[in-house]
């Protein structure tokens, strides 16, 4: 029989009535009737205790026994006896040594009963015939107060212990899942303070347990200009919403990273609501998306904006010019004789002409100006202007840069561009109309082959 003794100091509720109850069972309980009826109901505490103990013995898995001073079993009852394959009083007349099949004084039950004979109240846990028991043994005293034996009670806790062991195993299992999860995890209290983090949280954000626990999650990992948004997210989850979002978060060293957040509320019995939040680093995906967007908005040959980007960005330019109450200038550019260059020198040389045109336009315009290749041999530039002479000045600058290019670089042909410009008030101007008017100016210039033609407002 295995067991573990517990110090008497740990026994918080000694079973004081057991000895009295056994004495009543052995010697009977006699109570002389009162000489006259009492003036009010009297509660017989002894009888009440006896009834309670009898009910316990008959209804719950409890074993109750007593021994004399020589450890002979004198009483054995309890509904829990059948769980260990015996019946009431079956062991009466046997010694404790016979029941336990040992005389080893170090055996836990023997040691407990010997200590009880010395006046101690002892508690221990033991396994007996495949069952687990919480046991208490105390001295059994005669009427004169001398110790006449021992009395013990054992409560079958097998099912409770099995459940506890299962819960412990489950706790270990979930603790391992929590700690080794590939996502960063933080558990927050109802004030957004961190209760617990896992190892991946430390890896992702750089904070150790000591640095993170007790800190407000929004102060710790949310960029300072986004704290209000972070507080709104945690408030929504604390209010009961399951939430998925993508947001920027801050590492301990200051750099930011994109994360996918999955957060859910949970509660423990009557404790305030908590938040369980998981973070997955999606920075690489965001970079790939940005690169893809760039590819979709950039002309791969020249590196200028493409038609899609020009339409999107030109709307923003028109809005900005409108707020500033300024005019806009649209210049339509066409590469002359591109088909002849392709037919004579090959398409690679024709591509080179388009690349040279893009470089000329970049060098002839400001960084804030919007320059794009619409497709084929067509280019366009949109800029915010103030002066009435801007159209002519920009077109002259482009023409001069083309002439400089032809002097500096021998391609076997001369680069030639046709230009058409349209200046207009930004407010109320439609992009399509502005493009059409600049295109008209370009073809008028082509027909005239004179100076670049600029339509008036």
Phi, psi (rounded to 5 degrees) for 432: -60, -40
Q: In the prediction, which pLDDT does 26 show?
A: 41
Residues 57-85 have a mean pLDDT of 77
pTM, entire model: 0.48
Q: In the prediction, which pLDDT does 163 show?
A: 82
As a whole number of angstroms, the distance between CA 131 and CA 152 comes to 17
Q: What is the pLDDT of residues 215-257, one digit of tens each?
A: 999 999 999 999 999 999 988 998 889 999 999 999 999 999 9
Residues 419-447 have a mean pLDDT of 87
Closest C-alpha to 108, from 131, 132, 126: 126
pLDDT at 108 over 60: yes
pLDDT at 34 over 80: no
Q: 247 vs 262, 279, 282, 433, 445, CA distance in Å?
A: 11, 10, 10, 40, 52
Q: In the prediction, which pLDDT does 3 show?
A: 53
Q: In the prediction, which pLDDT does 365 show?
A: 92
pLDDT at 382 over 70: yes
Question: Residues of the chain with pLDDT > 90: what percent?
Answer: 46
Cβ neighbours, 10 Å, residue 183: 17
Q: What is the pLDDT of residues 341-378, one digit of tens each?
A: 999 999 999 999 999 999 999 999 998 899 999 999 99
Q: In the prediction, which pLDDT does 49 show?
A: 63
Q: In the prediction, which pLDDT does 120 show?
A: 93
Q: In the prediction, which pLDDT does 275 show?
A: 87
Would you place residue 449 in the very low, low, confident or very high pLDDT band (cuts 50, 70, 90)?
A: low
Q: In the prediction, which pLDDT does 28 show?
A: 37
Residues 333-346 have a mean pLDDT of 93
As a whole number of angstroms, the distance between CA 273 and CA 266 comes to 6
As a whole number of angstroms, the distance between CA 364 and CA 380 comes to 13
pLDDT at 269 over 90: no
Q: In the prediction, which pLDDT does 291 show?
A: 80
Q: In the prediction, which pLDDT does 195 show?
A: 93
């Amino acid at each position: 029989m295995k067991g573990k003794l517990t110090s008497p100091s740990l026994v918080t509720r000694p079973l004081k009535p057991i000895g009295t109850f056994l004495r009543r069972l052995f010697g009977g309980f006699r109570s002389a009737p009162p000489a006259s009826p009492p003036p009010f109901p009297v509660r017989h505490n002894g009888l009440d205790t006896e009834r309670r103990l009898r009910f316990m013995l008959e209804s719950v898995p409890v074993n109750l026994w007593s021994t004399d001073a020589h450890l002979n079993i004198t009483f054995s009852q309890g509904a829990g006896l059948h769980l260990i394959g015996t019946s009431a009083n079956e062991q009466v007349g046997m010694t404790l040594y016979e029941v336990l099949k040992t005389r080893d004084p170090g055996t836990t039950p023997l040691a407990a009963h010997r200590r009880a004979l010395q006046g101690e109240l002892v508690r221990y846990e033991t396994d007996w015939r495949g069952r687990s028991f919480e046991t208490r043994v105390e001295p059994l005293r005669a009427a004169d107060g001398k110790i006449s034996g021992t009395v013990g009670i054992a409560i079958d806790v097998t099912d409770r212990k099995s459940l506890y062991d299962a819960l412990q195993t489950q706790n270990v299992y979930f603790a391992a899942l929590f700690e080794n999860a590939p996502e960063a995890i933080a558990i927050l209290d109802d004030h957004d303070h961190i209760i617990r983090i896992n190892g991946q949280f430390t890896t992702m954000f750089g904070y150790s347990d000591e640095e993170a626990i007790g800190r407000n999650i929004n102060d710790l990992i949310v960029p300072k200009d986004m704290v209000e948004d972070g507080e709104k997210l945690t408030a929504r989850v604390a209010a009961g919403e399951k939430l998925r979002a993508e947001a920027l978060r801050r590492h301990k060293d200051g750099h930011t990273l994109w994360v996918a957040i999955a957060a859910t509320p949970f509660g423990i019995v009557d404790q305030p609501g908590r938040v369980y939040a998981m973070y997955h680093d999606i920075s690489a995906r965001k970079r790939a998306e940005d690169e893809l967007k760039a590819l979709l908005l950039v002309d791969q040959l020249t590196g200028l904006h493409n038609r899609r980007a020009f339409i999107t960005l030109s709307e923003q330019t028109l809005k900005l010019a409108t707020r500033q109450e300024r005019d806009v200038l649209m210049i339509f550019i066409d590469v002359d004789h591109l088909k002849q260059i392709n037919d004579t020198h090959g398409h690679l040389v024709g591509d080179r002409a388009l690349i040279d045109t893009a470089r000329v336009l970049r060098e002839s315009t400001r960084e804030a100006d919007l320059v794009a290749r619409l497709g084929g041999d067509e280019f366009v530039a949109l800029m915010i202007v103030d002066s009435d002479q801007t159209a002519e000045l920009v077109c002259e600058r482009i023409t001069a840069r083309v002439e400089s290019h032809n002097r500096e670089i021998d391609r076997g042909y001369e680069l030639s561009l046709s230009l058409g410009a349209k200046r207009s008030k930004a407010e109320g101007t439609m992009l399509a109309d502005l493009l059409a008017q600049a295109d008209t100016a370009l073809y008028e210039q082509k027909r005239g082959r004179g100076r670049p033609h600029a339509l008036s407002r």
